[in-house]
Structure 1
Amino acid sequence: MQGQTLFLGFGSIQQAVTDARLWEPLIRLADYQSTPRTRSESLTFLTHDLQLDTASAEALVLLLESGRFLIPAQSYDPRDRYSRHALFYELSGEDSARVQKRLADSHVLLLGCGGIGNLVATTLATAGVGTLTLVDDDQVELSNLTRQFLFTEADVGQPKCEVLAREVTRRNSHCRVRAFTTAVTDRTDLAALAVSDLLVVSADSPGLTRLVNTHAVASGQEWLNVCYVNDIAVWGPLVIPGVTGCWDCQPLTAHPPHDDPDLAALIKRVNSRYQAPSNGPVNMVASALAALDVLRRLGGFGVPASLNRRVGVWSHELTLDEQPAERDPLCPTCARATPTATDPRATEGAR
């Protein structure tokens, strides 16, 4: 309670009850239901023990049911490693067992195993995603250790994807992890990689996002970009070919002027000397929110925040910046793309 308000739950399910006459019955009902009860038992408790009329009893039970304050008794098992996540899925109104099964059957390919790849891979594996494919051609450097937290000083000089695969497997031995120390420079390289349910791109090679987008639209591969822009944590758009906008539908990044080649060359030269700062906490914000969208998409609960938009969290002032990424029917890349997935999740939340 706060002031003259009783709060049922917090976060997305929070409801404020200002009618003081309902406070005690609701609290007593919540206490009664801390032991598994049927709906009929709850109604009897309210009408017989608390002497409420039938209509009021029905209204209170419905309030808890419709507000997702009640979950099936078997949904939470503290002996299950995913038990706390199960509560989160139930919070979203989904059956936790079905969500967990979807995740176990899912395959995510991570292109880039640095600061963002470290955190996304760990989050997905420990959440129960069944298969991860890790791709990166870099080796661990000492300067990586400020934000690539699964690497240690002893790993310096070792292939990033192999070290990350080792560490992810240590955290969930049920996750099937494959590592490929290879560069991706063209569509042939992309086509040679395993087909996955979702491709997460955090590598920062010039032109990579557009290359991945072209390949993804042509092949029906869903994908998500995750990055940072100085002190801005960025993720999205989540591209579902034939359903959402793609990377080329809307202008999402700046480009040198096409009508002034001399100025364009000068800009390219200046940019080539720039080393972008990379900060652990900013990486963590981008990774966490992107991983949550991946889990939402693959697990089929909630709506990914990055559908049809690119989102940035400005860490220095804690504001959100959104770039619309809706589908352009005249987009030269995806105008003719059609949905290829038969999974009903292909259209959930993308309208």
Structure 2
Amino acid sequence: MITLLDGTRTYAEIQRSVGDSQPLGEVLQILTEERLLSRVGHLEGSFAKLGDERAEFYDRQLRLLQDFCDQGLTDLPTGVQLQERVDRSTAVVCGVGGLGGWVALSLANAGVGTIRLCDFDRVEPSNLTRQTLFSVADVGASKVEAAGARLRAANPFVTVETFDRRVTSPADLADLVDGADIVINAIDLPTPNDTSTWVSEACWPDVPHILGTGYAYHIGVLGTTVLPGQTACWTCVRTETFADHGRDRMESLVGKREKAGAIGALCGLVGSILAWEAIRVLAGLPPALSGRWSEVDFWPLEIRSRPIPRRPDCPTCGKGRDGVPPSHRPDGPAPV
């Protein structure tokens, strides 16, 4: 009976073929509940719409995307259409180090049509244990140029644009975010909070963005996904978390080290989660990190999240505001 479920036969035709002794209705119900039936009869045939080379390249990914369609997680009926949505998208990765490199490689492998990379640094020997885009031969080279070459080699079907640039304000990002569908902030200098603020202002009010990411010791910060006009914005997050761990009354002290410790496996774990979140946004699948602040504790391997509500009085995204960041308004920042 299973071999007859190829999308070309009616229920009645299958029933006649297997005979009245077979509990067809019960079996179909079980297969449906177990999500073993697809909306597409000839799966490989549907892949052909992408062309032979692309269909072969994305074969396993297309099968997963089809599963999402069959489960009703998207408004599209076929995995090919989801892949085409990803193919048409543009992603910006700010910073291609320990996190950004993993994010960029995953986006390229997934077939994100255009990937824009931004970084000002050069490859150092100490980068190689955790920054997956670089090899020993790249030491001394521009990070964005070495990263761009690696991504183009990984997937010939994507376009990679490189911007060798230090980000110091929202203005430095204006041309990168123009026309983008998602921006992932992985810049940590001068601080992740500063750079996330700049990215947020550059993206507002049109471009989805993932902010606050990073890692320290055994904590990987997944941050939050901002969908402008739909979820809590970066101003909401900062207001909600400002007093965490006594930050509002902390004194500045000298750290015990100049640089934080890191290991490739942990950077890869955080980077892969962020890439998966970005792919969900690009494909039109429900995001997992929006409306919350999330961190992963590497020691017990637990993800911890706290809800971040969208604040009605938020000067950025609150009701009655014009959707323009406070620093961009003629009257200056609104009070918080």
Name the TM tier (shorter chain): 0.7 to 0.9
- Paired with 2:149 and 2:62, the residues of 1 have a C-alpha distance of 26
- Paired with 1:321 and 1:229, the residues of 2 have a C-alpha distance of 15
* 1:214-293 map, 5 Å: 214-217=201-204, 219-225=205-211, 226-250=213-237, 251-252=240-241, 254=244, 264=251, 267=252, 269-271=253-255, 273-293=257-277
* 1:149-164 map, 5 Å: 149-164=132-147
- Paired with 2:42 and 2:7, the residues of 1 have a C-alpha distance of 12
Distance verdict in 2 for CA 1:48–1:286, change over 3 Å: same
* Partner SS for 1:270: coil
Q: Over aligned residue pairs, what C-alpha RMSD do you find?
A: 2.5
CA positional deviation for 1:194: 4.3
Q: Which residue of 2 aligns with 1:331?
A: 314
Pairing partner for 1:311 from 294, 302, 306: 294
Q: Which residue of 2 aligns with 1:348?
A: none
Distance verdict in 2 for CA 1:299–1:47, change over 3 Å: same
* 1:1-351 map, 5 Å: 29-30=1-2, 33=5, 36-40=6-10, 44-46=13-15, 48-49=17-18, 51-52=20-21, 56-65=23-32, 67-71=34-38, 72-76=40-44, 77=47, 80-93=56-69, 94=76, 95-195=78-178, 196-205=180-189, 206=191, 207-217=194-204, 219-225=205-211, 226-250=213-237, 251-252=240-241, 254=244, 264=251, 267=252, 269-271=253-255, 273-301=257-285, 303-335=286-318, 336=321
* Partner SS for 1:249: helix
User: What letter is aligned with 2:57?
Assistant: R
The answer on whether the counterparts of 2:93 and 2:185 sit within 8 Å (CA) in structure 1 is yes
The answer on whether the counterparts of 2:177 and 2:183 sit within 8 Å (CA) in structure 1 is no
CA positional deviation for 1:310: 2.4
Worse-superposed segment, 199-208 or 246-255: 246-255
User: What letter is aligned with 2:42?
Assistant: Q
- Paired with 1:158 and 1:48, the residues of 2 have a C-alpha distance of 66
- What TM-score results when the alignment is normalised by the length of structure 2? 0.80
Stretches of structure 2 that go unaligned for 5 or more consecutive residues are 70-75, 325-336
CA positional deviation for 1:83: 1.3
CA positional deviation for 1:50: 5.3
Distance verdict in 2 for CA 1:211–1:70, change over 3 Å: same
* Partner SS for 2:86: helix
Percent of residue pairs bearing the same amino acid type: 29
Distance verdict in 2 for CA 1:39–1:247, change over 3 Å: farther
The answer on whether the counterparts of 2:184 and 2:209 sit within 8 Å (CA) in structure 1 is yes
- Paired with 1:284 and 1:237, the residues of 2 have a C-alpha distance of 18
- Paired with 1:158 and 1:220, the residues of 2 have a C-alpha distance of 34
- The number of residues matched between the two structures is 298
CA positional deviation for 1:181: 0.8
* Partner SS for 1:245: coil
